[in-house]
Amino acid sequence: MKIAYISTYPPRECGIATFNHNLMNAINSNFPDRKDPLDGGFVVALNDSEDLQEYEYPSHVKFVIRQNHQKDYIRAAGYINTSNVDAVILEHEFGIYGGESGIYVLPLINRLEKPLISILHTVLKDPSYVQRIVIREIAEQSAKIIVMSKRAVEFLTTIYDIPAEKIQIIEHGVPDLEAPEPNPVKSLSQFKNRRVMMTFGLLSRNKGLETVVKALPKIVEKHPDVMYVIVGNTHPGVIKSSGEEYRDHLKSLAAQLKVSQHLAFINKFVAEDELINYLTATEVYVTPYLNEAQITSGTLSYAVGAGAAVISTPYWHATELLADDRGCLFDFKDAEGLADTVNQLLSDDTQLKELKQNAYEYGLHLRWPVIGAEFIKVAQEASARHDFSDKILKNSIVDPEILPKFSLAHVLRLTDDTGIVQHAKYGIPNLKEGYCLDDNARALIMALMAYQRNKSAEAHRLLPIYLSYIHYMQTDDGNFRNFLSFDRRYLDDVGSEDSFGRTIWALGHLISCAASNSYREFALELFHKSYPHFRALRYIRGQANTIIGIALYLQVYPTDEGMVAELIRLTQPLIDAYEQTRSDDWEWFEESMTYDNAILPLALLHSYEITGNPKAKEVALKTMAFLDQLTLSNGYLSPVGNDGWYYRGGTFPTFDQQAIETMAMVLMHFQAYQTFRQPEYIEKMFLSYKWFLGENTLRAPLYDHETKGCCDGLLPTGINRNQGAESTLAYMISHLTVLKAFELEYEYNKIADQKIKIC
C-alpha cells in the first residue's frame, strides 16, 4: 500500500504537519519489511510562503504547493496521478489551503484519479456558505471521510448533509512511547521539587491560558509547591501579526496576581520523544480553551495517551475523550472552578492516581501503530472499490496553465503617492498626461480584488493611494472632477458621467468587501455625499456604472429602501432605451454600438440580482446574446472597434479594439454565470479573456510578459505598444475575475457533466 499525503509537513511548525508526519510513520510501522520510507509513498506539502525553498523538507516530500498559487494545485494533481500510489490521504484544515476558506483545494481533488481519503481536523457548527460548499465537495470526491469524534459525525450528517456511511471515526493518535526512568525532565528547575500543572502547544489567545493564571493564587495558597508550566512556541501566524504580545500579557497578569514565581515558560517546539517526558513529569494537565467549538485537540489526546490527570473546559472533544472518569471538566473562563478542581485532586492522591490510570489504559488503543492499522484498512478498501471510469473528467473550462503569473509590477511603475498615471509610452509612465479619476477608480477595484485573493501586502499598500485620489477629486457638493496634472492642478471643474459612475462602482465595491472598517466608513462617506448627483445622470453608461456601484452597496445594506428605489429608478432608462431602439435584427440600447458595450447588460444583471425585476433580466439576456453573436461568433473575441464604431445597418469596425471592451465582456459573462449558473457563460468569459493572450483578430498577444502591462489596443497594422493604466487595469481585473471563476470549477464542471449524462 503506497499512499500520497497532502498536508503541511515538518519542519513547518504546525499541528497538522505533526499529525501527518506521525500518521505516515504509523502506517509505515505496520510494514516492518520496509527499509526505505519512500516505499510507502510520498508527501505533497503545503507552504505558507512564496519561497519553495522556505523549508528543508526530507526526501519523501516530492511536491510543494504554495498556498496561494492556484496552478500549483493543478500540477500536484498531475504529479499524483502519474505516480504509483494506491491512494491519497488529504489532511483538511481551512487555513492551510488558498482562496476563500481554502477553496483552492477543490480543483486538485476534482482532478485526482486515485481514491481519496480525507481527514477533517475542523468541522464547524455554523459554517459560512463557502465553508459548507468546501466540506460537501471534499466529501463527494472522497471514498471515506475520517473524523475524530462523534460530534463531528453529527455535524456532518445534519448540517452538511453527508451520508453517514461515508464517515468513519478514527481517533487522534498518540505517541507509542513510555516514560523513561529516571525522567530527565524532573531535574529541570521548573519541575524539581514542584507539583506541576502543564499546558503545551502553539500559543494564541484562543487557548484561554489566562484562566489558569487567574486560578493560580487560590491554588498556590493551598499548594505552594505548584508550578504552572506552558510548553510551546507562539503560533507563527500570531508572531507575524502581534509578536509575543500574548505571552507578555500572561507574564504581566501573573505579576499583578503576585504568582510570577509559579508560572514558567518553555518557549520551544518540543519533539514527541521529549514531550512524553514532560507529560509524565506532570501532576495535572490543563486545556482551558475558551469555547465549545473545538472538534479535535491533538494536545488533549497526547495528554490522555501519556496517562496524565487532565482537567479541561467542556469543549466538544474534551467531553467525549474525558468521559468515564478519564478526566475532569470545569466551565469556560471559570478560574474559581478550575482552582477548586485542582486543589481537590492535589489533595486526594487516590483520585489523582485513578484518573491517570483510566487515561493511560484508554490511551493504549490510541497509539499510533494501532491508528495506522485502521487507516491501512480504510485505504485498502477504498483502493479495492475505486473505479475511475465512474468519474467523468473533462478539461476544465478555465485552463489555469495558460494564465500568466499575476504581477503588480507595471501598476506599481505607474503609481506614485498621488495616484496611478493614466498613460504610458511603451512601458514607461507618461507623466505629461497626469492622472484621471476613471483609472484610479479602476485601480481601486483591481487592488481590492488582488487583496481579496491572497491578502497581497503590495495591493493593500495601494488602496489608500487610490482612495485618497478619489477623495481629493470630490467637490464640495459631492460631484467629482476627473483630470489632475502631474503637479496636482485640477484640469476640470466637473468630470464626465462615465468617470462619476465608475467611481460609484469602485466605492460600492469597497463597501461590499472592505479591507477594514475604516476603509468602509470612508467609502460610505464619499458614496453618500455623491448621492444627490445620481438623479442628474443623463447618459446610459454613466447610469450603468452607477447601477453596479449601488447594487454592490446593497449587498451590504439591503434594507436601505431609498437606495433600492434609486436602483430601480436608474434601471428604467436602460430598459426604456432598449424598448425604443430594438428591432428583430437590432437587440440593443442605441442606434450604434460604441464603447464599453458589455457594461450595459452587466448593469442590468446586477440590478436584477438585487431587485428581481424580470424586465431587467429579459433585456440583459437579449442584449447579451446580440453582443455575443456580433463579437464571439468567430470562435474568439472581436469586440466593436473604436475606428468608427458600429451603426445599425453599417459595417462592423474591426480595429482599434480596446481592452476595456474585453474587461466588460469578462465581467458580464462571469456575472451571468453567478446569476444563472450556466457553464456556457464561464466558457464565454474565458474565451473573452484570451483576447489579451493572443486569441484575437491578429493572433497577437496584448499582455506584455516583460513589463507585466497590457498594450493599449489592436490596430490594423498591429499592436499599440503603449501600456497605459486603462488597458493594464482592464487586463488585471479580467485576470483576477478568471481566477475567481476558477475557484468555482467544481461547480460548473459538475453542471456540465450532468448535462453530458442527460444527453
pLDDT tens digits, 352-368:
999 999 999 999 999 99
- Is residue 389 very low, low, confident or very high in pLDDT (cuts 50, 70, 90)? low
Closest CA to 306 of 330, 280, 331, 332: 280
Tell me, what amino acid is at 33? D
Q: To which H or E segment does residue 227 belong?
A: strand 226-231
pLDDT of 465: 98
Which DSSP symbol is given to 233? P
Report if residue 179 sits inside a domain.
no
Instruction: Say if residue 164 is in the same domain as residue 190.
Output: no
- Is residue 507 very low, low, confident or very high in pLDDT (cuts 50, 70, 90)? very high
Query: CA-CA distance, 415 to 426, in Å (whole number)?
Result: 16
| Average pLDDT for 614-637 | 96
Report if residue 576 sits inside a domain.
yes
Q: Indicate whether 14 pLDDT > 70.
A: yes
pLDDT of 175: 86
Residue that the C-alpha cell 498594450 belongs to: 711
On the CB side of 284, CA atoms within 13 Å amount to 30
CA–chain centroid gap for 378, Å, is: 30
All three cell numbers of 11 = 519542519
Q: Which of 355, 388, 421 is the last residue of a domain?
A: 388
Instruction: Say if residue 510 is in the same domain as residue 595.
Output: no
Query: CA-CA distance, 717 to 736, in Å (whole number)?
Result: 30
Instruction: Say if residue 20 is in the same domain as residue 117.
Output: yes
For residue 518, count CB atoms less than 10 angstroms from its CB and return exposed for 0-12, middle for 13-18, buried for 19 or more.
Answer: exposed
Share of the chain above pLDDT 70, in %: 97
- Is residue 752 very low, low, confident or very high in pLDDT (cuts 50, 70, 90)? low
DSSP for 77-95, please give it.
HHHHHTS--SEEEEEE-GG
Report if residue 401 sits inside a domain.
no
Q: Convert the pLDDT of each residue in 275-290 to its tens digit.
A: 888 888 899 999 999 9
- Is residue 756 very low, low, confident or very high in pLDDT (cuts 50, 70, 90)? very low
pLDDT of 759: 44
Instruction: Say if residue 421 is in the same domain as residue 517.
Output: yes
Instruction: Say if residue 124 is in the same domain as residue 239.
Output: no
pLDDT of 398: 82
Instruction: Say if residue 188 is in the same domain as residue 307.
Output: yes
Q: Convert the pLDDT of each residue in 639-676 to its tens digit.
A: 999 888 999 999 999 889 999 999 999 999 999 999 99
Q: Indicate whether 754 pLDDT > 70.
A: no
**Structural domain range at position 593:** 539-630
Report if residue 204 sits inside a domain.
yes
Q: Indicate whether 755 pLDDT > 70.
A: no
Q: Where are the alpha helices (DSSP H) in 115-158?
A: 129-141, 150-158
All three cell numbers of 584 = 428583430
Size (the chain), residues: 759
End-to-end CA distance of the chain: 39
Q: Indicate whether 518 pLDDT > 60.
A: yes
Query: CA-CA distance, 87 to 70, in Å (whole number)?
Result: 23
Report if residue 126 sits inside a domain.
yes
pTM of the model: 0.77
Beta bridge partners of 436: 483
| Average pLDDT for 296-315 | 91
- In which region does residue 439 sit, left (phi positive, over 0), alpha (psi from -120 to 50) or beta (all else)? alpha
Scored b (16 or more CB within 10 A) or e, 476-489 reads eeebbbbbbeeeee
Instruction: Say if residue 165 is in the same domain as residue 54.
Output: yes
Closest CA to 575 of 621, 623, 615, 625: 615
All three cell numbers of 558 = 439591503
Report if residue 406 sits inside a domain.
no
Q: How many domains does the chain have?
A: 5
All three cell numbers of 543 = 447610469
Instruction: Say if residue 352 is in the same domain as residue 441.
Output: no
Q: Where are the alpha helices (DSSP H) in 432-559?
A: 437-454, 457-473, 497-512, 517-530, 540-556
Q: Indicate whether 117 pLDDT > 60.
A: yes
Instruction: Say if residue 357 is in the same domain as residue 224.
Output: yes
Q: Which residues contact 124 (CB under 8 A, 6 or more apart)?
A: 131, 155, 293
Q: To which H or E segment does residue 751 belong?
A: helix 745-758
Beta bridge partners of 3: 41, 87
Q: To 10 degrees, what angle do helices 561-581 and 614-631 make?
A: 50
Q: In this predicted structure, which of 106-110, 235-239, 310-314, 601-605 has the lowest mean pLDDT?
A: 235-239
Sign of the Cα pseudo-torsion (697, 698, 699, 701, in order) = negative
Q: Indicate whether 515 pLDDT > 90.
A: no
- Is residue 38 very low, low, confident or very high in pLDDT (cuts 50, 70, 90)? low
CB 339 within 8 A of CB 218: yes
Instruction: Say if residue 565 is in the same domain as residue 515.
Output: no
Query: CA-CA distance, 618 to 604, in Å (whole number)?
Result: 9
Report if residue 670 sits inside a domain.
no
CATH of the domain at 89: 3.40.50.2000
Query: CA-CA distance, 404 to 498, in Å (whole number)?
Result: 30
Report if residue 543 sits inside a domain.
yes
Instruction: Say if residue 29 is in the same domain as residue 98.
Output: yes
pLDDT of 392: 47
All three cell numbers of 437 = 479619476
Angle ∠(355,357,361) on CA atoms, nearest 5: 120
CA–chain centroid gap for 173, Å, is: 29
- Is residue 60 very low, low, confident or very high in pLDDT (cuts 50, 70, 90)? very high
Instruction: Say if residue 310 is in the same domain as residue 230.
Output: yes
Which DSSP symbol is given to 167? E
Closest CA to 71 of 45, 42, 107, 43: 107
All three cell numbers of 19 = 499529525
